[in-house]
A and B are shown apart, each in its own frame.
Chain A
């Protein structure tokens, strides 16, 4: 079944590419800039600009985007998606580009490897930890009377699927 999931992933990727190169031409986006004016990252990082990112996609400069850092510099606040009058949604385009970059083996922030490793090992990104209190102490879930956390009962079938999906791309 894992190969099936993998085939679906590949089909997905090609569908995403079609959306990018086929549907995303210069006439779709009016370059109105509502996305960039709403973007919290544009205010802080010079050169991060969702409007320009969409312009690059419509000019076919996808490889440049896949190799760059910009696609990983989005806070996922969804304001560009919400305010886009043409339903282009820079956020969705960025997610597609991230998926493509990962599949193509281009670089991505190292933190993602930790997230994925956690999910593969125990079902969750992170494991329960003792947390600091305001007065400098530390408390665990148990100290606060919180029940134990349960993950997937059998990691084997869970992992077969995740391996099939994730192995084809990335470093993990």
Chain B
């Protein structure tokens, strides 16, 4: 398995814990990653709101680079993944727009054919590596730890496009959590939104939406929350202190991890290689429990 690794704006600019843990863990599972040169933003969340054509141009441009590399593309962000899938689907149905986009890509020596395979991290881990192989490689099982699965909206919806898991009952991230020896169970708010896309309009409402979910997760007895989406992580981890303030809930302390950070701990990776120092939520006690 070899993929063109697409990071996108948010991960490469600030979500270093995700990128570092992906680069550390995927090769241990036999996945080779090749960096993409010359890429740009996927078009979400800015361009699709103001220029649908500009959005498809940006996504097609990145997909053309992956096609040039002759590899399937692995966008780590839920938003980028859906953006690519939507553009691929849309340009299949609109050859005229595809032609115009290609005439413009030609100036950069690029051409978009439309046959690139777009793979989500959860698909690479769950469908291609498989939970069996992952659990066989675990040397530090996360026994007795209860983790809430948060796949994120754009990984599972809309179901009329190629998405990663069932729109109403996603289980792949749960299976992957269990493969590490941890416990997980369904909870009513599992497929609810983190609210991050509202930050550009109303920061206050965003904090409430994210905070109410964190409170719920905590009330069910989970020890932590796991995701693979940089937008969601940014809300639940990076903004957790602001959420506590907004909700006036001083007891709201919940460790938040990227799945690949926990995967790394379970596989015996050096903790310093997983970017755990940039998680802002209180993860230290839980990490200590895992490493004991």
Count A-B contacts at CB 8 Å.
Answer: 206
Collect the chain A residues with CB atoms within 8 Å of residue B224's CB.
none
Are B47 and A116 in contact (CB-based, < 8 A)?
yes
Q: How far is the CB of A73 from chain B (nearest CB, A)?
A: 6
| Majority SS at the chain A contact face | loop
Are A146 and B19 in contact (CB-based, < 8 A)?
yes
B290 at the interface (CB under 8 A from A): no
Collect the chain B residues with CB atoms within 8 Å of residue A119's CB.
40-41, 46-47, 58
Are A111 and B153 in contact (CB-based, < 8 A)?
no
Are A166 and B278 in contact (CB-based, < 8 A)?
no
Band of interface residues on A:
35 or more
Known contacts A125-B9, A157-B108; decide if A77 and B35 are in contact (CB<8 Å): no
A118 to B41, CA, bound (A): 9
Collect the chain A residues with CB atoms within 8 Å of residue B38's CB.
150-153
Known contacts A135-B277, A149-B12, A165-B57; decide if A115 and B45 are in contact (CB<8 Å): yes
Kindly identify, within residues 199 to 225 of chain B, every residue whose CB is under 8 Å from any CB belonging to chain A. Answer: 200-202, 205-206, 208-209
A5 at the interface (CB under 8 A from B): yes
A28-36, A54-62, A94-102 - the one binding chain B: A94-102
B114-122, B136-144, B172-180, B188-196 - the one binding chain A: B188-196
A sample of 23 cross-chain residue pairs with beta-carbon separation below 8 angstroms, ordered by A number, consists of A4-B100, A5-B101, A5-B104, A8-B97, A12-B97, A73-B201, A75-B209, A95-B48, A102-B50, A112-B46, A116-B46, A116-B50, A119-B46, A124-B9, A124-B40, A128-B12, A128-B14, A144-B20, A145-B273, A146-B20, A150-B36, A157-B104, A169-B51
